[in-house]
Structure 1
Amino acid sequence: MGTWVMLLRGINLGPRHKVPMAELRALCADLGLTDVRTYIASGNVICSSSQRSATAVGATMERGLRSRFGFDVPVIVRTPQQLQGVVDDLPFLDTEQVHVSFLPAPLPAPVEAEVRTGLLNGAELVVSGAHAYLRTPAGLGQPWLRAPQAKALSDGTVRTWRTVTALLDLATP
């Protein structure tokens, strides 16, 4: 049995795509996942599974979500070791207004360079593999990236630094 951290993109943001956490945990159990825990209502699941790959775990969850709730929810899956690497590689001296965008795949270097041209309001971006570290001094409530460049990150899902470290704590014994 492996431990997995699943990050669901785009649920419980406004009136659409509502996924109550109790129902999400029940779905996980129905899918054969064990030791299921959720963290806040933004779509964070820690669980165990006999499936051996992140791709398989994510695909199972995506099919289950579509079947149970009637809409598509992209799921990004990481191991506790990968999450530890994200924490260990923090490129900023402090964690104030730091977020991590978990991407489905690494950004090609030209795309990463193009994204950097769209930064606004003192925002900083450091890409490391399939993770983009964001520091937004004005907060995420203020524009930090121009729309054309934001499309390159749109398949990812963003978590606050506090959420990243809380998920790591929950995923490691």
Structure 2
Amino acid sequence: MAVWVAFLRGINVGGNRKLPMAELRSLCEEAGLTDVRTYIASGNLVFSSTMRSSAKVRELIEQRIEEHFGFPVVVVVRTPKQLREVVDGLPFDDADHAHVSFMVSGSERAATEELQEALINDARLEVVGDHAYLLVPNGLGQGFLRPGADRKFGKVGTVRNWRTVGKVLAMAEGD
């Protein structure tokens, strides 16, 4: 059995696209995933599966969610090793204001890289492989992208704060 981590994009935000975690866990178990655990309501899953392909795991979860809840959800799947590499590779000294955007495709990476010139308020963005580190020293409550670019950012990857990334990694590594 392989352990997997999945991050769901754009659920339970502002009362839209509601997806209760208990229902998500049951749905995943019915799909054959085991030891399914969630962390907070933003769509963070840790589970085991006999599947060895992240693409197949992603496809299974996306398909089941759309069938059951009636709306599409982008799911980003990583191994615990990949998530460990993200954590170990943090390029900033300030983990308290760090976030990570986990991306699915090359076009998402390219779109994220294009946002470099739109950063404001001392924000920093560093794209590394299939994820991008985001440092927002003033917090997410204050804008970190010029108006207009913020809408583009919401359509690439799925962002998690550093605390969430650490908690999900601990779950995946069995801590």
Q: Same fold (TM over 0.5)?
A: yes
Change over 3 Å in CA distance of 1:111–1:47 after alignment to 2: closer
SS at match of 1:73: coil
| C-alpha deviation, 1:15, in angstroms | 1.7
Which range is displaced more, 135-144 or 5-14? Answer: 135-144
**Is contact 1:9-1:75 (8 Å) kept?**
yes
Identity fraction in percent: 52
Change over 3 Å in CA distance of 1:125–1:12 after alignment to 2: same
User: After superposition, what is the alpha-carbon deviation per residue over 1:31-78, rounded to whole angstroms, capped at 9, x for unaligned?
Assistant: 100010000010000000111111100100000000110101100000
* 1:129 corresponds to: 129
**Is contact 1:101-1:153 (8 Å) kept?**
no
Q: Distance in 1 between matches of 2:16 and 2:152?
A: 21
Q: Distance in 2 between matches of 1:38 and 1:77?
A: 14
Q: Distance in 2 between matches of 1:23 and 1:153?
A: 25
* 1:145 corresponds to: 145
**Is contact 2:9-2:43 (8 Å) kept?**
yes
Runs of 4+ in 1 over 3 A off after TM superposition: none
SS at match of 1:19: coil
| C-alpha deviation, 1:151, in angstroms | 2.0
Q: TM-score, normalised by structure 2?
A: 0.92
Change over 3 Å in CA distance of 1:111–1:73 after alignment to 2: closer
Output the aligned Cα RMSD.
1.6
Q: TM-score, normalised by structure 1?
A: 0.93
**Is contact 1:5-1:79 (8 Å) kept?**
yes
Map 1:25-36; keep pairs closer than 5 Å: 25-36=25-36
| C-alpha deviation, 1:153, in angstroms | 6.2
Q: Distance in 1 between matches of 2:112 and 2:72?
A: 26
**Is contact 2:28-2:36 (8 Å) kept?**
yes
Map 1:6-85; keep pairs closer than 5 Å: 6-85=6-85
* 1:90 corresponds to: 90
**Is contact 1:117-1:149 (8 Å) kept?**
no
User: After superposition, what is the alpha-carbon deviation per residue over 1:70-101, rounded to whole angstroms, capped at 9, x for unaligned?
Assistant: 10110000000000000010001121211000
Change over 3 Å in CA distance of 1:46–1:74 after alignment to 2: same
* 1:170 corresponds to: 171
**Is contact 1:103-1:153 (8 Å) kept?**
no
Q: Which runs of 5+ in 1 are unaligned?
A: none
Change over 3 Å in CA distance of 1:71–1:111 after alignment to 2: closer
SS at match of 2:160: strand
User: After superposition, what is the alpha-carbon deviation per residue over 1:118-166, rounded to whole angstroms, capped at 9, x for unaligned?
Assistant: 0011101111111110110111121111223762662200000000011
**Is contact 1:54-1:78 (8 Å) kept?**
yes
Q: Which runs of 5+ in 2 are unaligned?
A: none
Count matched residues: 171
